[in-house]
Amino acid sequence: MNENYWERFDTRLTWLTTQRTALQKNGTQAYYAPLVYELPQQESIFTSNPFAQPTIPPGGNVGKSKTVNIQQFRRYNINTGHQVLKFQKAETMQEAVNYARTKLGIKNFNMQNDLELANWVNEGLTAIYNKYKGKVPMPSNVIKDGSKDMIGDAYYNLNRDTLAIAPDNKKKVLTRLLRNIENTWESSNRPLTRWYKRALKEDYSQIPYIDPKFQKQVAQHIQEFQHFPEIFEVTDVKQLYHEINALLETKHILKTNPMKLIADLYNNPKYKKALESPEFKSLVQISRLDKDEQKQEFYKILDKLKEKGINAYVEPQKFAENNKFHVIFHEYGHFMHFKTTSFESLKEHTDEFKSNPRKQNTAEQVSGYAKSEPMEFVAEVYAGMLNGEKYSPEVMRLYRSYNGPTVPQ
Residues 152 and 202 in one domain: no
Q: State how beta strands 162-165 and 141-144 pair.
A: parallel
DSSP conformation letters of 132-168: TTT-----SEEEE---TT--SSEEEETTTTEEEE---
Total domain count, the chain: 4
387 domain residue, yes or no? yes
Residues 284 and 272 in one domain: yes
Residues 66 and 192 in one domain: no
258 domain residue, yes or no? yes
Residues 215 and 298 in one domain: yes
pLDDT value at residue 270:
87
pLDDT value at residue 26:
46
- Which of 53, 54, 74 has the alpha carbon at shortest distance from 65? 54
Residues 72 and 140 in one domain: no
Residues 332 and 255 in one domain: no
Sequence-ordered alpha helix ranges (H) in 28-167: 70-75, 93-102, 115-131
86 domain residue, yes or no? no
Burial class of residue 100, CB neighbours in 10 A (0-12, 13-18, 19+): buried
- Which of 49, 46, 90, 48 has the alpha carbon at shortest distance from 68? 46
Vertex 156: Cα angle to 154 and 161 (nearest 5): 140
Residues 181 and 312 in one domain: yes
Vertex 285: Cα angle to 279 and 287 (nearest 5): 130
Q: Which residues pair with 143 in a beta bridge?
A: 110, 164
Torsion of CA 241, 244, 247, 249, to 10 degrees: -30
Summarize the chain as % helix, strand, coil (round to 5): 55, 5, 35
408 domain residue, yes or no? no
Low-confidence ranges of the chain (pLDDT < 50): 1-81, 184-185, 187, 320
Residues 377 and 360 in one domain: yes
pLDDT value at residue 7:
46
409 domain residue, yes or no? no
The torsion angles phi and psi of 69, rounded to 5 degrees, stand at -70, 130
**Reported pTM:** 0.61
393 domain residue, yes or no? yes
353 domain residue, yes or no? yes
Residues 237 and 309 in one domain: yes
pLDDT value at residue 171:
65
Residues 204 and 65 in one domain: no
Q: Residue 289: CB partners within 8 Å, gap ≥ 6?
A: 297
* HSE-up (13 A, CA, CB side) for residue 365: 23
Domain boundary among 167, 199, 231: 167
Cβ proximity of 183 and 195 under 8 Å: no
Domain boundary among 284, 318, 352: 318
Domain boundary among 167, 187, 217: 167
- Which of 355, 395, 394, 393 has the alpha carbon at shortest distance from 377? 395
Cβ count near 129 (within 10 Å) = 23
Domain that holds residue 208: 171-318
Q: Which residues pair with 39 in a beta bridge?
A: 66
Residues 142 and 225 in one domain: no
> Is residue 39 within a helix (H) or strand (E), and if so which, with residue range?
strand 36-40
What is the spatial distance between Cα 280 and Cα 130, in angstroms, rounded to a whole number?
40
Residues 14 and 72 in one domain: yes
406 domain residue, yes or no? no
pLDDT value at residue 164:
94
